[in-house]
Amino acid sequence: MTRFPRLRSAWATAHARAEGVPDWAWIAALAVPLTVLPSSIWRIAIVTFHLPIGEGAEGDDGLPSWLPDEVYAVLLSLFSELVAFTAVGLVATWGEVFPRWIPGLRGRRVPPLAAVIPAALGALVLTLMWTWTAITVPLGINVRGEPTKGDNPLSLDKTEGVIAAIAYAPLLLWGPLLAAVTIAYHHRRREMSHRVPAT
């Protein structure tokens, strides 16, 4: 990264630890994007590069005809990683003060509830969604309770299914980790507001 000063600067800014963040919250927030990474890699490997480590992951009938499965897999994986990375904002300085590249808001303090409410709702939805998925998919039914069409990519009686399950299992931690980091953010910001007089 020493050869890319702008990239190094952006990385440092995105990961600048806010004052008063406990070590456990820092580690938990940095772990959130890692919970999404294995499934993203698996999805891209199967759908985009057609590696023989899974089955039943292609051919989503819900996609528009102009969006190839391969492109969709990459876009979904990138989007998932970006959403997961927002957890870092709960322990980084940009989660307390708007960055300079946001017009009209740069340099202003982030209202705590503007971060806490979406993060708490996200943690709740992610926890429920991935827990329900972990229960239904191995049983061969989708999240709506309907039988899975085609081969079940998470069938544990096949090597490919075990690989898929290993790739998707960390997603069970996404919601709980985000919830813990959100609670820590809320407590820290509340303590800061008591210490610093409102201006």
- List, for residues 58-96, the tens digit of each pLDDT value: 444 566 777 788 888 899 999 999 999 999 999 999 888
Cα 155 to Cα 12, 57, 127, 146, 177, distances in angstroms: 41, 12, 22, 16, 27
Amino acid symbol at 15: H
Name which of 20-29, 55-64, 106-115 the model is least confident about: 55-64
Q: What does the pLDDT read at residue 154? A: 66
> What mean pLDDT comes out for the span 35-47?
93
Q: What is the full DSSP assignment across 3-48?
A: T-HHHHHHHHHHT-BPTT--HHHHHHHHHHHHHHHHHHHHHIIIII
Question: Does residue 21 surpass a pLDDT of 90?
Answer: yes
> What mean pLDDT comes out for the span 45-50?
85
Average pLDDT, the chain: 84
pTM above threshold 0.75: yes
Interval 108-163: pLDDT, tens: 888 999 999 999 999 999 999 999 988 887 777 776 777 776 666 666 778 888 88
